[in-house]
Structure 1
Amino acid sequence: MKKIGIMGGTFDPPHKGHIYIAQEAYKKLHLDSVIFMPAGNPPHKTYKKITNEKDRYEMVKLAIADYEHFEVSDYEISKQTLSYTFLTLKHLKEEREKCELFFIAGADSLVTFESWRNIEEILNLATLVIFTRPGYPKDEVIKSKNEIEEKYHHSVILMDLIEQDISSSYIRESLEEGKEVTEYLNSDVCEYIRVNGLYNATRNIFL
């Protein structure tokens, strides 16, 4: 049975931190592949302006191009309705028979997990994999993990990663202010941003 990881997110833009997380999950969980799933219309971010789904999808393709075990799916961005995790996992289970799914998410997702729709179905369809991230003390994350496991009788995997002070929101803000961000992004993603004039960069910072 193949073991497949799913990394959801807006990927606005996709950065090297996303690649690091996916690589660690791939190695530590002995996965066969990791699917990047750009969100089309995430219910928890309906109030935020998100870059066009086509651009985010193309940037993810560029960011993962050098990794044979990574792929990107347009399932959520091709939908017109809100993107709910349980529906995505159900689709993948139906699309890829005889596979074991691992849903990879940050500590922030674990904290808000009880507000997600159809929690039990999510846990029945996939193993929840939580990675540590800055701003979320490990003892609190472990407490939330234990509470979810006790309440829903499903194991949650905690993936302890090196903390990286990098986020898509920081990159967007830096681009708007004309700051250097090339250390955080794949060179092809940088070029895509430059050519398509994304994030209202105040000057050409990629030269």
Structure 2
Amino acid sequence: MVFPVIFGKQVLLTGSQRRIAVSNGTFDPPHQGHVLMLQEAIRQYKFDTVYFLPGNNPNLKPNRTPFEFRIPMVKAMADYLSNQNGCQKTRYKVSEAYKDAPHLMASLRKLFPDLKNRTEKIPYICGTDEVIFSQDEKKLLQAFVSTENAIEFYNKFVPVINKRNGSPVPTSISIGGKKIEFDYVLIKPSPYDPQISSTLMRAGLTQPHRTLQQISSLIPRPVMNVIHSLGLYQPKTQPLKLTA
């Protein structure tokens, strides 16, 4: 069932809200689109710490690269970000809270054990295409599992949205017969945003040499080093197994 999108209220982050933020995604693989979004969020809002929360929901992404191979790619992206102008003062942490969690809110509760007692919403850095904004109730339920989890998410987190391609900012969803309206914060998008996706990157990484060179320029070099060392995204081959 599809529901209408209703525009909501743009808000400002308080000083204390800028102490910590979280960025969830499949990161399959991380690319310059992710980097530029995060750079702009950090430069504009000066977050002290950003947690990366690689997703692990098979209902949303059934053919994703295994979790244990995406973690080192995200760590490589975090190291890369820590050396970019305007981003050096921010601390970057990669969480494996989603590894055995059944859904998004379960992973966030693991990441923030004091979530129930927090009185300020935690910034959640994302794009307008994030599944949490879906107009399709089936996808929302795949992400949240229940209406109660969705309500808890929007009570505890404020989306910090990277607005791309002139796309509208959805600030209301309907799930389980309830409409949830939520506040949001906007990121001024980078003028250098290549408008790419992980899907395009995966496709390009399996293509001939010339295309591969072009794709490689859109993925941070440390991430490409991990991709090569693990043998990821190669057609008709299996990724190498990680050793202890």
SS at structure 2 position matched to 1:36 = strand
Q: Is the 8 A contact 1:104 1:128 kept in 2?
A: yes
Paired letter, 1:103: Y
Larger radius of gyration between Structure 1 and Structure 2: 2
Q: Please give the residue correspondences for 1:9-20 in structure 2 after superposition, counting only pairs within 5 Å.
A: 9-20=25-36
- State the superposition RMSD in angstroms: 2.6
SS at structure 2 position matched to 1:59 = helix
Q: TM-score, normalized by length of structure 1?
A: 0.78
Aligned to 1:101: 122
2:57 to 9, 24, 41: 41
Q: Is the 8 A contact 2:32 2:194 kept in 1?
A: no
Q: Please give the residue correspondences for 1:104-143 in structure 2 after superposition, counting only pairs within 5 Å.
A: 104-109=125-130, 111-112=133-134, 115-116=140-141, 117=144, 118-134=149-165, 137-138=166-167, 141-142=168-169
Aligned CA distance change for structure 1 residues 64 and 201 (closer, same or farther; 3 Å)? farther
Provide the C-alpha distance between the structure 2 equivalents of 1:177 and 1:196, rounded to a whole number of angstroms.
Answer: 18
Shift of 1:172: 0.8
Higher helix share: 1
SS at structure 1 position matched to 2:65 = coil
Q: Return 5+ residue gaps in structure 1 as ranges.
A: 203-207
SS at structure 2 position matched to 1:192 = helix
Aligned to 2:239: none
Aligned to 1:168: 198
SS at structure 2 position matched to 1:129 = strand
SS at structure 2 position matched to 1:37 = strand
Q: Is the 8 A contact 1:132 1:161 kept in 2?
A: yes
Q: Is the 8 A contact 1:8 1:104 kept in 2?
A: yes
Aligned CA distance change for structure 1 residues 124 and 175 (closer, same or farther; 3 Å)? same
SS at structure 2 position matched to 1:45 = coil
- Bigger CA drift: 89-98 or 124-133? 89-98
Provide the C-alpha distance between the structure 1 equivalents of 2:78 and 2:186, rounded to a whole number of angstroms.
Answer: 24
Q: Looking at both structures, which has the greater relative contact order when contacts are Cα pairs under 8 Å and sequence separation is at least 6?
A: 2
Q: Is the 8 A contact 1:7 1:37 kept in 2?
A: yes
Q: Return 5+ residue gaps in structure 2 as ranges.
A: 1-15, 83-89, 174-178, 237-244
Q: TM-score, normalized by length of structure 2?
A: 0.68
Provide the C-alpha distance between the structure 2 equivalents of 1:167 and 1:153, rounded to a whole number of angstroms.
Answer: 28
Aligned to 2:219: 185
- Bigger CA drift: 15-24 or 51-60? 15-24
Shift of 1:176: 0.8
SS at structure 1 position matched to 2:112 = helix
Q: How many residues align?
A: 189
Q: Percent identity?
A: 28
Provide the C-alpha distance between the structure 2 equivalents of 1:63 and 1:43, rounded to a whole number of angstroms.
Answer: 25
2:73 to 50, 56, 59: 59
2:39 to 23, 35, 40: 23
Q: Is the 8 A contact 1:5 1:26 kept in 2?
A: no
1:7 to 8, 19, 23: 23
Paired letter, 1:52: P
Q: Please give the residue correspondences for 1:142-157 in structure 2 after superposition, counting only pairs within 5 Å.
A: 142=169, 144-145=170-171, 147=172, 152=180, 154-157=182-185
SS at structure 2 position matched to 1:158 = strand
Q: Is the 8 A contact 1:35 1:71 kept in 2?
A: yes
Provide the C-alpha distance between the structure 1 equivalents of 2:162 and 2:156, rounded to a whole number of angstroms.
Answer: 19
